Amino acid sequence: MDYEILKFIWWLLIGVLLVGFAIMDGHDMGVGTLLPFVGKTDEERRAIINTVAPHWDGNQVWFITAGGAIFAAWPMIYASAFSGFYWAMMAVLWAMFFRPVGFDYRSKLSNPTWRKTWDWGIFVGSFIPPVIFGVAFGNLLLGVPFEYTQSLNPVYSGSFWALLNPFALLCGVVASAMVTFHGAIYLMHRTKDPIYSRAQSWMTISGLVTVVCFTLAGIWVAFGIDGYRITSVVNLAASPDPLTKEVVRETGAWLANYQRWPLIILVPVLGYVGILGALWLAKKGKTFAAFFVSALGITGVIGTAGVSMFPFMMPSSSHLASSLTVWDSSSSHFTLFVMLIAVVIFMPLIVLYTRWAYSIMRGKVTTAYIRENKHSVY
Q: Measuring CA to CA, how many Å separate 291 from each of 30, 228, 279, 282?
A: 12, 35, 10, 8
Report yes or no on 200 lying in a domain.
yes
- Mean per-residue pLDDT, 196-214: 96
How many domains in the chain? 1
Range of the domain at 128: 3-372
- Mean per-residue pLDDT, 72-86: 87
Which of the residue ranges 237-241, 261-265, 373-377 would you say has the lowest mean pLDDT? 373-377
pLDDT at position 364, please?
A: 87
**Would you give the distance in Å from CA 49 to the centre of its chain?**
21
For the cut 90, the answer to whether the pLDDT of residue 199 exceeds it is: yes
Report yes or no on 377 lying in a domain.
no
DSSP character string of 28-82:
HHHHHHHHHHH--SHHHHHHHHHHHTTTHHHHTHHHHHHHHHHHHH-HHHHHHHH
Report yes or no on 62 lying in a domain.
yes
Report yes or no on 68 lying in a domain.
yes
Report yes or no on 214 lying in a domain.
yes
Between 182 and 60, the higher pLDDT residue: 182
* Spatial separation of the C-alpha atoms in residues 40 and 198, rounded to whole Å: 10
Predicted confidence (pLDDT) per residue in 142-179, tens digit: 999 999 988 888 888 888 888 899 999 999 999 999 99
* Spatial separation of the C-alpha atoms in residues 31 and 123, rounded to whole Å: 9
Q: How many separate helices (H) and strands (E) can be counted in the chain?
A: 15, 6
pLDDT at position 375, please?
A: 63
Across-strand partners of 251?
226
Specify the pairing of strand 247-251 against strand 226-230: antiparallel
The share of the chain scoring above pLDDT 70, in percent, equals: 99
Report yes or no on 378 lying in a domain.
no
pLDDT at position 14, please?
A: 94
- To the question of pTM greater than 0.95 for the whole model, the response is no
pLDDT at position 239, please?
A: 80
Predicted confidence (pLDDT) per residue in 91-137, tens digit: 998 998 998 899 888 888 888 999 999 999 999 999 999 999 999 99
For the cut 70, the answer to whether the pLDDT of residue 285 exceeds it is: yes
* Spatial separation of the C-alpha atoms in residues 301 and 299, rounded to whole Å: 6
CA 284, 287, 289: angle at the middle one, nearest 5?
A: 100
Report yes or no on 268 lying in a domain.
yes
For the cut 80, the answer to whether the pLDDT of residue 140 exceeds it is: yes
* Spatial separation of the C-alpha atoms in residues 232 and 210, rounded to whole Å: 37
Predicted confidence (pLDDT) per residue in 1-18, tens digit: 899 999 999 999 999 999
Report yes or no on 45 lying in a domain.
yes
